[in-house]
Amino acid sequence: MRDAPPSGHGEGRHSRHPVVGVHHVRGWQPVEAGRELVEMVIDHALGQRRRRAGAPEAQGCAREGALAACRLQLAGLLRAAGLFEDAERELVAALTTIPTYGDAVLALAALRRETGNAAGTIGVLARFLEGDPYHLDALASLGESLHV
Residue 54: is its pLDDT beyond 60?
no
Tell me the average pLDDT across 64-90: 90
- Per the prediction, the chain carries an average pLDDT of 75
Tell me the average pLDDT across 94-108: 94
Residue 95: predicted pLDDT: 94
Residue 64: predicted pLDDT: 83
Angle in degrees, 0-180, between the axes of helices 102-114 and 56-80, rounded to the nearest 10 = 20
Residue 45: predicted pLDDT: 57
The closest of 111, 139, 113 to 125, measured between CA atoms, is 139
Tell me the average pLDDT across 108-136: 95
Residues in the chain: 148
pTM beyond 0.75: no
The closest of 96, 115, 105 to 139, measured between CA atoms, is 105
Ordered alpha helix ranges (H), the chain? 30-52, 56-80, 84-97, 102-114, 118-131, 136-147
- Confidence class for position 81, pLDDT limits 50, 70, 90: confident
Residue 114: predicted pLDDT: 94
